[in-house]
Structure 1
């Protein structure tokens, strides 16, 4: 099944919102909180999630035919990032955005 234009637009918006939230949270909140918020595995995951979200949005915006493969990877990384964020105080909004993006990207990858 080919995604509709509206589904793709929602996914692009979700990817860009997740990119923004991950970068802002990592660079603002996590760096200031320190301790587990800057633990390398968590922090690297947030940065990877942000970059993959940005890349997925770009692939859809420029209409790369096989964007579904990038969207599939993005869904997996967003789920991982959401789980990592859920385990830390003050990260509920970031976790929520990652879950929403994962759902949208999963639909694009189908």
Structure 2
């Protein structure tokens, strides 16, 4: 097993947290509230965010050299998701998870 340094571990944790928060918020909070929370663009963005976070964590866990590319994309999608969740409102936990993940992933991609 390859060694995972502290910076990478923190990014993996942020990605997995964001994955869980986006997935559970979309499936619980958003589906329950409906309206703007379930508009196609927003809901698709949340699902894409959850999946890219899970994928980025996976790439880091397996030690793939491609993790930088995936983390760059993850940072971009997380930023968009945070902005959209902020726009809709009442999604502070999701906004915070996305912003934290984006920051960690930006650092990993650099």
Alpha-carbon distance, 1:89 to partner: 2.7
Aligned residue pair count: 107
Name the TM-score, length of structure 2 as normaliser. 0.95
Taking the aligned partners of 1:47 and 1:89, their CA distance within structure 2 comes to: 17
Determine helix, strand or coil for the equivalent of 1:87. helix
Partner of 1:77: 77
Partner of 2:104: 104
Q: What pairs up with 1:78-97 in 2 under 5 angstroms?
A: 78-97=78-97
Partner of 1:31: 31
Q: Structure 1 segments of 4 or more deviating over 3 A?
A: none
Taking the aligned partners of 1:26 and 1:109, their CA distance within structure 2 comes to: 27
Gaps of 5+ in 2: none
